[in-house]
Amino acid sequence: MISLQENISLSNYTTIRTGGPARWFITCKTEASILEALAYASSNKLKVLTLGAGSNLLVSDQGFDGLVIQVALDHISFKDSGLVVAGGGVNWDHFVKATCLHGLTGIESMSGIPGNVGATPVQNVGAYGQEVCETIVQVNAINIKDFSKRIFSAKECAFAYRNSRFKTSDKDLWLITEVTFQLNESSLPNPQYDELLKSLASDPLWSTGDRFQKIMTLREHVLKIRSSKGMVLNHSDSDTYSLGSFFMNPIVSTSEKVRIFQLAADKGLPRQPTAHSAGDNLWKLSAAWLIENSGIKKGDMIQSARVSTKHVLALTNPSNACTSDILALAAHIKKSVHNMFAVELIQEPVFVD
Protein backbone atom coordinates (compact mmCIF):
# COMPACT_ATOMS: atom_id res chain seq x y z
CA MET A 1 0.00 0.00 0.00
CA ILE A 2 1.50 3.33 -1.06
CA SER A 3 1.77 6.22 1.39
CA LEU A 4 0.89 9.63 -0.02
CA GLN A 5 1.65 13.04 1.41
CA GLU A 6 -0.82 15.87 0.98
CA ASN A 7 -0.33 19.57 0.15
CA ILE A 8 3.46 19.43 -0.09
CA SER A 9 5.08 22.70 -1.17
CA LEU A 10 6.92 22.14 -4.45
CA SER A 11 9.17 25.11 -3.73
CA ASN A 12 11.10 22.68 -1.53
CA TYR A 13 11.64 20.36 -4.52
CA THR A 14 12.78 22.79 -7.22
CA THR A 15 16.23 24.36 -7.44
CA ILE A 16 14.73 27.82 -7.99
CA ARG A 17 12.66 27.39 -4.81
CA THR A 18 9.33 28.62 -6.16
CA GLY A 19 6.01 26.89 -6.77
CA GLY A 20 2.80 26.17 -4.90
CA PRO A 21 1.65 22.91 -3.27
CA ALA A 22 1.12 19.49 -4.78
CA ARG A 23 -2.25 18.08 -3.86
CA TRP A 24 -0.63 14.66 -3.45
CA PHE A 25 3.05 13.69 -3.34
CA ILE A 26 4.98 10.43 -3.22
CA THR A 27 8.63 9.40 -3.49
CA CYS A 28 9.08 6.12 -5.39
CA LYS A 29 12.25 4.07 -4.99
CA THR A 30 11.06 1.05 -7.00
CA GLU A 31 9.22 0.43 -10.25
CA ALA A 32 6.55 -1.42 -8.28
CA SER A 33 5.79 1.67 -6.19
CA ILE A 34 5.68 3.79 -9.36
CA LEU A 35 3.10 1.44 -10.86
CA GLU A 36 1.04 1.55 -7.66
CA ALA A 37 1.14 5.34 -7.65
CA LEU A 38 0.07 5.51 -11.29
CA ALA A 39 -2.80 3.12 -10.62
CA TYR A 40 -3.93 5.29 -7.71
CA ALA A 41 -3.83 8.40 -9.88
CA SER A 42 -5.80 6.65 -12.62
CA SER A 43 -8.50 5.34 -10.32
CA ASN A 44 -8.88 8.77 -8.70
CA LYS A 45 -8.70 10.67 -12.01
CA LEU A 46 -5.65 12.65 -10.92
CA LYS A 47 -3.17 14.40 -13.20
CA VAL A 48 0.39 13.08 -12.81
CA LEU A 49 3.62 15.06 -12.67
CA THR A 50 6.94 13.24 -12.56
CA LEU A 51 9.70 14.93 -10.59
CA GLY A 52 13.43 14.39 -10.45
CA ALA A 53 15.70 17.02 -8.93
CA GLY A 54 13.44 19.90 -9.95
CA SER A 55 16.28 21.63 -11.79
CA ASN A 56 14.30 22.31 -14.97
CA LEU A 57 10.84 22.76 -13.50
CA LEU A 58 9.00 26.03 -12.98
CA VAL A 59 5.81 25.34 -11.02
CA SER A 60 2.86 27.71 -10.89
CA ASP A 61 2.31 29.63 -7.65
CA GLN A 62 -1.05 27.84 -7.48
CA GLY A 63 0.74 24.51 -7.38
CA PHE A 64 -0.25 21.23 -9.02
CA ASP A 65 -3.72 19.77 -8.51
CA GLY A 66 -2.77 16.14 -8.94
CA LEU A 67 -0.19 13.53 -7.92
CA VAL A 68 3.52 14.35 -8.03
CA ILE A 69 5.71 11.25 -8.33
CA GLN A 70 9.30 11.85 -7.32
CA VAL A 71 11.42 9.24 -9.11
CA ALA A 72 14.15 7.94 -6.79
CA LEU A 73 15.49 4.89 -8.66
CA ASP A 74 19.16 5.35 -7.83
CA HIS A 75 21.10 2.34 -9.18
CA ILE A 76 24.21 2.47 -11.39
CA SER A 77 25.61 -0.59 -13.15
CA PHE A 78 28.86 -0.70 -15.16
CA LYS A 79 28.78 -3.34 -17.89
CA ASP A 80 31.45 -4.48 -20.34
CA SER A 81 32.89 -2.27 -23.10
CA GLY A 82 31.82 1.05 -21.61
CA LEU A 83 28.11 0.28 -21.30
CA VAL A 84 26.58 1.92 -18.20
CA VAL A 85 23.01 1.69 -16.88
CA ALA A 86 21.61 4.27 -14.46
CA GLY A 87 18.28 4.63 -12.70
CA GLY A 88 16.18 7.69 -13.49
CA GLY A 89 16.63 9.05 -9.97
CA VAL A 90 20.45 9.08 -9.99
CA ASN A 91 21.91 12.56 -9.55
CA TRP A 92 23.38 13.50 -12.93
CA ASP A 93 26.66 14.94 -11.68
CA HIS A 94 27.20 11.99 -9.34
CA PHE A 95 26.72 9.78 -12.39
CA VAL A 96 29.18 11.80 -14.50
CA LYS A 97 31.75 11.69 -11.70
CA ALA A 98 31.34 7.91 -11.37
CA THR A 99 31.91 7.40 -15.11
CA CYS A 100 34.99 9.64 -15.04
CA LEU A 101 36.41 7.69 -12.11
CA HIS A 102 35.90 4.54 -14.18
CA GLY A 103 38.01 6.11 -16.93
CA LEU A 104 35.11 6.53 -19.36
CA THR A 105 34.65 9.42 -21.77
CA GLY A 106 31.59 10.77 -23.54
CA ILE A 107 29.79 12.85 -20.91
CA GLU A 108 32.66 14.45 -18.95
CA SER A 109 32.00 17.92 -20.42
CA MET A 110 28.50 17.77 -18.93
CA SER A 111 29.83 17.75 -15.38
CA GLY A 112 27.97 19.93 -12.91
CA ILE A 113 24.66 20.07 -14.76
CA PRO A 114 21.93 19.93 -12.11
CA GLY A 115 19.19 17.32 -12.28
CA ASN A 116 18.78 13.57 -12.44
CA VAL A 117 19.61 10.99 -15.11
CA GLY A 118 15.94 10.47 -16.01
CA ALA A 119 15.55 14.09 -17.09
CA THR A 120 18.50 14.13 -19.46
CA PRO A 121 16.82 12.37 -22.43
CA VAL A 122 13.78 14.65 -22.16
CA GLN A 123 15.82 17.81 -22.72
CA ASN A 124 18.64 16.13 -24.62
CA VAL A 125 20.89 17.82 -22.08
CA GLY A 126 24.19 19.15 -23.31
CA ALA A 127 27.13 21.42 -22.52
CA TYR A 128 30.51 22.39 -23.99
CA GLY A 129 29.99 20.47 -27.22
CA GLN A 130 28.52 17.25 -25.79
CA GLU A 131 24.87 16.11 -25.76
CA VAL A 132 23.44 13.01 -24.11
CA CYS A 133 21.95 11.85 -27.42
CA GLU A 134 25.51 11.05 -28.55
CA THR A 135 25.91 8.37 -25.88
CA ILE A 136 22.38 7.16 -25.03
CA VAL A 137 21.69 3.61 -26.23
CA GLN A 138 18.21 3.15 -24.84
CA VAL A 139 15.65 4.66 -22.50
CA ASN A 140 13.36 2.53 -20.31
CA ALA A 141 10.01 4.10 -19.47
CA ILE A 142 6.55 3.43 -18.07
CA ASN A 143 3.44 4.74 -19.83
CA ILE A 144 1.63 7.04 -17.41
CA LYS A 145 -1.79 6.29 -18.93
CA ASP A 146 -1.84 2.51 -19.38
CA PHE A 147 1.20 1.52 -17.19
CA SER A 148 2.85 -0.41 -20.02
CA LYS A 149 6.65 -0.60 -20.15
CA ARG A 150 8.68 0.25 -23.22
CA ILE A 151 12.32 0.43 -24.22
CA PHE A 152 13.13 3.24 -26.65
CA SER A 153 16.19 3.07 -28.84
CA ALA A 154 18.16 6.29 -29.26
CA LYS A 155 16.66 6.73 -32.73
CA GLU A 156 13.13 6.30 -31.37
CA CYS A 157 13.75 9.10 -28.86
CA ALA A 158 13.73 11.61 -31.77
CA PHE A 159 16.49 13.70 -30.25
CA ALA A 160 17.06 17.27 -31.43
CA TYR A 161 18.70 20.33 -29.91
CA ARG A 162 17.41 20.45 -26.30
CA ASN A 163 14.50 18.32 -27.42
CA SER A 164 13.09 14.81 -27.75
CA ARG A 165 9.80 12.99 -28.21
CA PHE A 166 9.40 13.07 -24.41
CA LYS A 167 9.17 16.87 -24.59
CA THR A 168 7.03 17.13 -27.73
CA SER A 169 4.82 14.41 -29.25
CA ASP A 170 4.89 12.26 -26.09
CA LYS A 171 4.93 15.07 -23.55
CA ASP A 172 3.66 13.90 -20.12
CA LEU A 173 3.12 10.36 -21.43
CA TRP A 174 6.24 8.49 -20.29
CA LEU A 175 7.95 8.23 -16.91
CA ILE A 176 11.63 7.42 -17.47
CA THR A 177 12.93 4.76 -15.10
CA GLU A 178 16.35 3.90 -16.54
CA VAL A 179 18.84 5.10 -19.16
CA THR A 180 21.63 3.10 -20.80
CA PHE A 181 24.74 4.89 -22.06
CA GLN A 182 27.53 3.74 -24.35
CA LEU A 183 30.72 5.45 -23.19
CA ASN A 184 34.30 5.02 -24.38
CA GLU A 185 37.06 3.16 -22.55
CA SER A 186 39.99 4.36 -24.66
CA SER A 187 39.38 7.75 -26.31
CA LEU A 188 40.83 10.94 -24.88
CA PRO A 189 38.49 13.74 -23.78
CA ASN A 190 37.94 16.13 -26.67
CA PRO A 191 36.89 19.61 -25.46
CA GLN A 192 35.17 21.75 -28.10
CA TYR A 193 34.51 25.26 -26.78
CA ASP A 194 37.11 28.02 -26.67
CA GLU A 195 36.27 28.96 -23.08
CA LEU A 196 37.04 25.45 -21.87
CA LEU A 197 40.13 25.10 -24.07
CA LYS A 198 41.57 28.34 -22.70
CA SER A 199 40.99 27.21 -19.14
CA LEU A 200 42.65 23.84 -19.77
CA ALA A 201 45.65 25.44 -21.49
CA SER A 202 46.80 26.90 -18.16
CA ASP A 203 46.80 23.50 -16.43
CA PRO A 204 50.00 21.44 -16.84
CA LEU A 205 48.09 18.20 -16.14
CA TRP A 206 46.10 18.75 -19.32
CA SER A 207 49.25 18.72 -21.45
CA THR A 208 51.37 16.24 -19.48
CA GLY A 209 48.90 13.99 -17.67
CA ASP A 210 47.88 10.47 -18.64
CA ARG A 211 44.43 9.70 -20.04
CA PHE A 212 42.76 9.36 -16.62
CA GLN A 213 44.32 12.60 -15.39
CA LYS A 214 43.09 14.39 -18.52
CA ILE A 215 39.53 13.16 -17.92
CA MET A 216 39.53 14.32 -14.31
CA THR A 217 41.27 17.59 -15.19
CA LEU A 218 38.66 18.42 -17.80
CA ARG A 219 35.88 17.64 -15.33
CA GLU A 220 37.48 19.94 -12.73
CA HIS A 221 37.73 22.80 -15.22
CA VAL A 222 34.13 22.39 -16.36
CA LEU A 223 33.01 22.55 -12.73
CA LYS A 224 35.20 25.61 -12.13
CA ILE A 225 33.73 27.45 -15.13
CA ARG A 226 30.16 26.51 -14.28
CA SER A 227 30.67 27.56 -10.65
CA SER A 228 32.02 30.94 -11.75
CA LYS A 229 28.74 31.45 -13.61
CA GLY A 230 26.56 30.30 -10.70
CA MET A 231 25.57 27.21 -12.69
CA VAL A 232 26.44 24.70 -9.96
CA LEU A 233 23.94 24.56 -7.13
CA ASN A 234 25.45 25.89 -3.90
CA HIS A 235 23.08 26.01 -0.92
CA SER A 236 25.11 28.84 0.64
CA ASP A 237 24.85 31.01 -2.48
CA SER A 238 21.36 32.26 -3.39
CA ASP A 239 22.72 33.33 -6.77
CA THR A 240 22.62 29.63 -7.71
CA TYR A 241 18.93 29.23 -6.81
CA SER A 242 17.98 28.98 -10.45
CA LEU A 243 17.01 26.56 -13.21
CA GLY A 244 20.35 26.84 -14.95
CA SER A 245 20.17 28.34 -18.43
CA PHE A 246 16.65 29.76 -18.68
CA PHE A 247 16.78 30.26 -22.46
CA MET A 248 18.02 28.01 -25.25
CA ASN A 249 20.58 29.23 -27.74
CA PRO A 250 18.50 30.14 -30.80
CA ILE A 251 19.04 28.21 -34.04
CA VAL A 252 19.01 30.50 -37.08
CA SER A 253 19.66 30.27 -40.82
CA THR A 254 22.85 31.56 -42.40
CA SER A 255 21.02 34.61 -43.73
CA GLU A 256 19.70 35.38 -40.24
CA LYS A 257 23.19 34.97 -38.78
CA VAL A 258 24.56 37.41 -41.34
CA ARG A 259 21.76 39.87 -40.57
CA ILE A 260 22.47 39.76 -36.83
CA PHE A 261 26.22 40.08 -37.34
CA GLN A 262 25.65 43.10 -39.56
CA LEU A 263 23.25 44.61 -37.03
CA ALA A 264 25.88 44.17 -34.31
CA ALA A 265 28.43 45.95 -36.50
CA ASP A 266 26.01 48.76 -37.40
CA LYS A 267 25.23 49.36 -33.74
CA GLY A 268 28.93 49.38 -32.85
CA LEU A 269 28.57 46.52 -30.36
CA PRO A 270 31.89 45.58 -28.74
CA ARG A 271 32.12 42.10 -30.26
CA GLN A 272 30.34 39.76 -32.62
CA PRO A 273 27.97 37.11 -31.26
CA THR A 274 29.29 33.58 -30.84
CA ALA A 275 27.93 31.23 -33.50
CA HIS A 276 28.43 27.47 -33.85
CA SER A 277 27.37 25.41 -36.83
CA ALA A 278 24.23 23.35 -36.22
CA GLY A 279 24.40 21.66 -39.64
CA ASP A 280 22.08 22.01 -42.65
CA ASN A 281 22.90 25.69 -43.14
CA LEU A 282 21.86 26.46 -39.55
CA TRP A 283 23.73 28.22 -36.76
CA LYS A 284 23.44 28.20 -32.98
CA LEU A 285 23.77 31.73 -31.62
CA SER A 286 24.70 32.65 -28.07
CA ALA A 287 21.55 33.54 -26.14
CA ALA A 288 23.76 35.12 -23.47
CA TRP A 289 25.28 37.50 -26.05
CA LEU A 290 21.84 38.49 -27.33
CA ILE A 291 20.62 39.17 -23.80
CA GLU A 292 23.69 41.15 -22.74
CA ASN A 293 23.51 43.31 -25.86
CA SER A 294 19.79 44.02 -25.59
CA GLY A 295 20.21 46.13 -22.46
CA ILE A 296 19.85 43.38 -19.82
CA LYS A 297 22.52 43.42 -17.12
CA LYS A 298 23.62 40.96 -14.48
CA GLY A 299 21.74 41.66 -11.26
CA ASP A 300 18.70 43.27 -12.95
CA MET A 301 15.52 42.62 -10.98
CA ILE A 302 11.76 42.54 -11.45
CA GLN A 303 9.90 42.19 -8.17
CA SER A 304 11.98 39.61 -6.27
CA ALA A 305 13.33 37.77 -9.33
CA ARG A 306 16.88 38.59 -10.38
CA VAL A 307 19.18 37.99 -13.33
CA SER A 308 22.15 36.16 -11.86
CA THR A 309 25.04 38.42 -10.87
CA LYS A 310 27.33 35.84 -12.50
CA HIS A 311 25.61 34.95 -15.80
CA VAL A 312 22.72 36.54 -17.70
CA LEU A 313 21.27 33.19 -18.78
CA ALA A 314 20.29 32.29 -15.22
CA LEU A 315 17.22 33.79 -13.55
CA THR A 316 17.46 33.49 -9.79
CA ASN A 317 15.45 33.63 -6.60
CA PRO A 318 17.73 35.48 -4.18
CA SER A 319 15.15 35.81 -1.41
CA ASN A 320 11.39 35.34 -1.68
CA ALA A 321 10.54 35.42 -5.37
CA CYS A 322 7.47 33.63 -6.62
CA THR A 323 7.01 31.95 -9.98
CA SER A 324 5.07 34.92 -11.37
CA ASP A 325 8.11 37.12 -10.63
CA ILE A 326 10.38 34.74 -12.56
CA LEU A 327 7.97 34.69 -15.51
CA ALA A 328 7.73 38.49 -15.52
CA LEU A 329 11.52 38.80 -15.65
CA ALA A 330 11.70 36.18 -18.41
CA ALA A 331 9.07 38.05 -20.45
CA HIS A 332 11.01 41.31 -20.04
CA ILE A 333 14.20 39.67 -21.31
CA LYS A 334 12.44 38.06 -24.28
CA LYS A 335 10.87 41.39 -25.25
CA SER A 336 14.20 43.21 -24.96
CA VAL A 337 15.96 40.69 -27.20
CA HIS A 338 13.16 40.74 -29.74
CA ASN A 339 13.08 44.53 -29.85
CA MET A 340 16.83 44.71 -30.40
CA PHE A 341 17.51 41.74 -32.69
CA ALA A 342 14.10 40.41 -33.88
CA VAL A 343 15.02 37.02 -32.39
CA GLU A 344 12.59 34.96 -30.31
CA LEU A 345 14.17 33.36 -27.26
CA ILE A 346 12.68 30.02 -26.24
CA GLN A 347 12.33 29.15 -22.57
CA GLU A 348 14.17 25.97 -21.57
CA PRO A 349 12.52 25.05 -18.23
CA VAL A 350 9.19 23.24 -18.25
CA PHE A 351 6.31 25.28 -16.83
CA VAL A 352 3.72 23.37 -14.79
CA ASP A 353 0.35 24.73 -13.73
Write a three-state SS string for the chain. Answer: CCCCEEEEEHHHHCCCCCCCEEEEEEEECCHHHHHHHHHHHHHCCCEEEEECCCCCEEECCCCEEEEEEEECCCCEEECHHHEEEEECCCEHHHHHHHHHHCCCECCHHHCCCCCEHHHHHHHCCEECCEEHHHCEEEEEEEECCCCCEEEEECHHHCCECCECCCCCCCCCCEEEEEEEEECECCCCCCCCCHHHHHHHHCCHHHHHCCHHHHHHHHHHHHHHHHHHCCCCCCCCCHHHCECCCCECCCEEEHHHHHHHHHHHHHCCCCCCCCEEEEECCEEEECHHHHHHCCCCCCCCEECCEEECCCCCCCEECCCCCCHHHHHHHHHHHHHHHHHHHCCCCCECCEEEC
Domain that holds residue 270: 239-352
Same domain, 130 and 161: yes
Q: Are 241 and 344 in contact (CB under 8 A)?
A: no
Shared domain for 346 and 264, answered yes or no, is yes
145 and 249 in a single domain? The answer is no
CATH code of the domain containing 346: 3.90.78.10
Residue 41 belongs to some domain of the structure: yes
To the query of whether residue 162 is one of the catalytic residues in this protein, the response is yes
The residue among 107, 149, 115 whose CA lies nearest residue 131 is: 107
Other beta carbons within 10 angstroms of residue 144's beta carbon come to 21
CATH of the domain at 148: 3.30.465.10
Q: For residues 273 and 299, state if they share a domain.
A: yes
The active-site residue, picked from 245, 294, 308, 336, is: 245
Point out the catalytic residue in the list 17, 60, 162, 219.
162
Within this chain, do residues 50 and 90 fall inside the same structural domain, yes or no? Answer: no
AA letter at 295: G
Q: Are residues 114 and 10 in the same domain?
A: no
What is the reported pLDDT for 152? 98
Q: Does any domain span residue 231?
A: no
Show the low-confidence residues of the chain (pLDDT under 50): none
Are residue 98 and residue 63 in the same domain, yes or no?
no
Q: What is the CATH number of the domain that holds 61?
A: 3.30.43.10
- Residue 250 and residue 347 in one domain: yes
The pairing of beta strand 350-352 with beta strand 57-59: parallel
pLDDT for position 270:
77
| Structural domains counted in the chain | 3
- Interval 68-99: pLDDT, tens: 999 999 999 999 999 999 999 999 999 999 99
Q: Which listed residue (31, 178, 292, 348) is catalytic?
A: 348
Residue 222 resides in a domain: no
Note if 6 is an active site residue. Answer: no
Are 315 and 327 in contact by the 8 Å Cβ rule? The answer is: no
What is the model's pLDDT at position 276?
A: 86
Distant-in-sequence, close-in-space partners of 331: CB < 8 Å, separation ≥ 6? none
Report pTM: 0.92
